[in-house]
């Protein structure tokens, strides 16, 4: 009988701790973005700066994205039950998709306002340096959050947290654009404030597009890692009694990889021997690849016509 590998158990415990850390960073990001949004939108309206106002709205959107990510991570921590037999890990990608849609919608609105204001530029005095200081503070906060989210996303495998990290990188870029737009108004280039608003809107939409693409691929069970497939094949074929493997399939389920494969064995061996070989394959795979979740192995006689991968 197969017994759980202690190394894998430690991996799962460590992953759960990282997921909890990801939930906390999402909470911190939500609070930070709300405060930044209040300051940027308030000063943007007071100083008449579209770039700063757009970045403020953008920060509120980031807060909504972080809250969405938090909900996704919280759902993904639930254990498998009678309805969701494989657990709730994919809720992480589902909520990431929702967050990305919000990002694109807000980008369209910000870009539209920027284009509209560009054709109605007001020839006024340069914007106060306070606006530039607020934008600079927003850049610093976004950079710190992006680094923390990206580090945890790499360790935990949470796609929604990676989406939120993209969101923070884009937030820092947008705030930088706002800062430049505000700075240029001091030299009489008043239209650059509106142009900065348009660029910020484009940043938001591009980041949302990439987030939608990644989340959709995970939800569609797409997996593209030739090195991992080669490693699994190497481990399986190293077990004595296996002549070849067929129909190898791998998919992500949160931080874990689920593997299915057919192994070709001598058709004259007993069912017990075929099961022993299957268990040995699973054990060796878990010893070498701790991120494996469910492993399904079907032994078949080597005399049969082989199945093609992906059939």
Q: Give the pLDDT of residue 262.
A: 92
Longest Cα separation, the chain: 90
Question: In this structure, how many other beta carbons lie within 10 angstroms of the beta carbon of residue 51?
Answer: 34
CATH 1.20.1510.10 in the chain: give the residue spans: 6-219
Q: Give the pLDDT of residue 10.
A: 64
Q: Give the pLDDT of residue 157.
A: 63
Distance between CA atoms of 71 and 65, rounded to whole angstroms? 10
226-301 adopts what CATH topology? Alpha-Beta Plaits (3.30.70)
pLDDT in tens, the chain (311 residues): 445 555 556 666 666 676 677 778 888 888 888 888 888 888 888 877 777 777 787 788 778 777 777 776 777 667 778 887 777 777 777 877 887 888 788 788 778 777 877 776 555 545 567 777 888 888 888 888 888 888 877 776 666 677 778 778 777 877 887 788 777 777 777 677 677 778 877 877 887 787 788 788 888 888 877 888 888 898 888 888 888 888 899 888 766 788 999 999 888 888 899 899 999 998 888 878 766 778 899 988 886 444 444 44
Q: Give the pLDDT of residue 201.
A: 79
Strand 242-253 relative to strand 256-265: parallel, antiparallel, unpaired? antiparallel
CATH 3.30.70.1350 in the chain: give the residue spans: 226-301
pTM, to two decimals: 0.62
**6-219: CATH number:** 1.20.1510.10
The b/e string for 279-301 (b: 16+ C-beta within 10 A; e otherwise) is bbbbeebbeebbebbebebebbe
Number of residues that this document lists for the chain: 311
Please name which of 81, 59, 63 lies closest in space to residue 71, comparing C-alpha atoms: 63
């Amino acid at each position: 009988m197969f017994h759980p590998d202690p190394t894998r158990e430690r991996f799962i415990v460590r992953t759960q701790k990282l997921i909890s850390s990801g939930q906390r960073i999402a909470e911190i990001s939500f609070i930070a973005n709300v405060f930044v949004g209040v300051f940027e939108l308030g000063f943007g309206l007071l100083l008449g700066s579209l770039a700063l106002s757009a970045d403020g709205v953008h920060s509120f959107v980031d807060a909504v994205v972080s809250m969405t990510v938090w909900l996704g991570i919280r759902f993904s921590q639930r254990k498998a039950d009678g309805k969701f037999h494989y657990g709730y890990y994919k809720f992480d990608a589902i909520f990431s998709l929702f967050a990305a849609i919000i990002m694109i919608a807000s980008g369209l609105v910000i870009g539209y306002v920027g284009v509209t204001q560009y054709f109605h530029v007001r020839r006024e005095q340069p914007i106060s340096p306070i606006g530039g200081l607020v934008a600079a503070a927003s850049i610093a906060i976004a950079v710190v959050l992006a680094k923390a989210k990206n580090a945890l996303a790499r360790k935990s495998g949470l796609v929604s947290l990676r989406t939120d990290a993209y969101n923070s990188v884009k937030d820092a870029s947008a705030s930088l654009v706002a800062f430049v737009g505000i700075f240029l108004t001091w030299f009489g280039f008043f239209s650059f404030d509106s142009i900065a608003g348009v660029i910020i809107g484009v940043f938001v939409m591009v980041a949302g597009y990439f987030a939608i693409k990644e989340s959709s691929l995970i939800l569609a069970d797409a997996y593209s890692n030739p090195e991992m497939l080669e490693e699994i094949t190497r481990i399986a074929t190293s077990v004595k009694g296996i002549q070849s493997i067929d129909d190898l399939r791998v998919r992500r389920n949160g931080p874990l990889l689920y593997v299915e494969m057919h192994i070709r064995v001598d058709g004259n061996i007993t069912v017990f021997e075929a099961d022993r070989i299957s268990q040995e394959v699973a054990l060796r795979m878990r010893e070498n690849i701790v991120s494996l979740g469910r492993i399904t192995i079907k032994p078949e006689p080597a005399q049969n016509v082989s199945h093609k991968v992906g059939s």
